[in-house]
Amino acid sequence: MTGEAGAYRLLLALGALDAAGYSLIVPVIPEIADTSGAGPATLGFLVAIFPAGMVAGFWLAGRAVERRGVRPVLVGALVLIAFGALGFVLTDSLTVYFVSRLVMGVGSAGLWIGVTLDTLERWPGQEYVCMSRIFAAYSIGGLVGPALGAVGGTAGPFTLYLALVLGAIALVLRMQQPAERQPFVSDRTALRSRGFWVAASAVLFTYLVLGIMEGTLPLHLAERLTQAEIGALYVGLAMVVAASATAAAAQRPRSMVFGSVFLAVAGIAVAGAVTQVPLWVLGLALAALGVGIGSTGSLGILVEAVNVKRIVTAMVVWSQIGIAGYLVGPLAGGLVAEGLGYRAVALVVAVAGLAVLGTLAAARGVGAHATTPG
């Protein structure tokens, strides 16, 4: 892989591959439920174990980038993801599935940190526009996961994903190094800025909503839809996320975060309360729109608030907070759905949304005048 253009295309592809690993499990959840007899709470925990691994993986990857650079982190992350996928290919044990998703989560965190910092290193001064495209690639990658998951069974989807990961390792090993190396350093003072915490609350909310969409609601959808139909629906939702995330890059980040709260709460409320397929589609589309614009808005506020050369600590903590939302969403959503029914899941999103609106109000003016470079 030669040239900066080729490196950027590969980074976009790695982002898409990483995102596919998040959502690959979604259409497979009903199959695992059928073969194991696990209920919503257990399967919510299976989804949540992936972001639990990511929380630790972000910290490990941040330290490794400072000591060894970006490429070893990218390669190591892909190797971990490959080993995790192999667990789903070789066994049908629920215990092994938990361990495998944990390992994949650690690898996914390393891949995100590697892709992000490599992008910031290669294109200084164009951080926001380049990262907006990386984030859009992550959104588009959400198309791949459900599409693979719709193949059927458990081993089949993960076999296909494993093949893609092995191909990515070969390409990363050939990728050209940046023309000018940019040393990244940690700076804890960035965590004291109000802009950082606005961005953190927004990304926490966004991933909590995504976790509920992917970890709680598929069993509700399985009441009327097949595995392939659920996969097709989530492909469509990923398209909504990708389109809205890309469009949001031209808008004020604060406004996008504000709008995301109302869209996500309304969408999850509709999806949980009804059993008609058209209304499911409408509700989940509204929630996906909220996820897309909220994620881009959060990223915009973060890039504004923190010096990019000293962004390692802020990026690690911001990422950990976001993935904590993806962890809490399936756990809280699964428990509420099991105890009170799917109609009550919207209460989890509403409470989180009120917290985001409170943070925005307390930091009025932070991130209100963002512009897109280039």
Domain that holds residue 132: 3-362
Tell whether 368 is covered by a domain: no
**In this structure, are residues 244 and 292 in contact, taking their beta carbons and an 8 Å threshold?**
yes
**In this structure, are residues 184 and 121 in contact, taking their beta carbons and an 8 Å threshold?**
yes
pLDDT at residue number 281: 93
User: Which residues lie closer than 8 Å to 289 by C-beta, 6 or more apart?
Assistant: 240, 241, 244, 263, 267
* Cα atoms in the 13 Å half-sphere on the side-chain side of 327: 17
Tell whether 371 is covered by a domain: no
pLDDT at residue number 181: 61
Tell whether 374 is covered by a domain: no
Give the CA diameter of the chain. Answer: 57
Nearest Cα residue to 256 out of 112, 120, 135: 135
Record the tokens describing residue 78, joined without a space. 């892909």
pLDDT at residue number 183: 59
Query: φ and ψ at 323, to 5 degrees?
Result: -70, -25
The CATH code of the domain that includes 111 is: 1.20.1250.20
pLDDT in single tens digits along all 374 residues of the chain: 456 777 888 999 999 999 899 878 878 888 888 888 777 778 878 887 888 888 889 888 888 877 777 888 999 999 999 999 999 999 888 889 999 999 999 999 999 998 988 887 777 666 666 777 787 788 778 778 878 887 878 888 999 999 999 999 999 988 877 666 665 656 677 777 888 888 999 999 999 999 899 888 888 888 888 877 887 888 788 889 888 887 887 788 889 999 999 999 999 999 999 989 899 999 999 999 999 899 888 988 887 777 666 677 888 888 889 888 887 888 899 899 888 989 999 999 999 999 999 988 887 654 443 333 33
In the block, residue with structure tokens 């058209």: 278
pLDDT at residue number 366: 47
pLDDT at residue number 46: 85
Record the tokens describing residue 104, joined without a space. 């994949």
The neighbour count for residue 239, using CB atoms within 10 Å, is 17
Tell whether 199 is covered by a domain: yes
Nearest Cα residue to 208 out of 220, 197, 216: 216
Tell whether 367 is covered by a domain: no
**Which amino acid would we find at residue 315?**
M
Tell whether 372 is covered by a domain: no
Using one digit for the tens of pLDDT, what is the confidence trace for 46-99?
A: 887 888 888 889 888 888 877 777 888 999 999 999 999 999 999 888 889 999
**Spatial distance between the Cα atoms of 24 and 70, rounded to a whole number of angstroms:** 26
Domain count, the chain: 1
pLDDT at residue number 203: 94
Tell whether 334 is covered by a domain: yes
Tell whether 97 is covered by a domain: yes
**In this structure, are residues 44 and 331 in contact, taking their beta carbons and an 8 Å threshold?**
yes
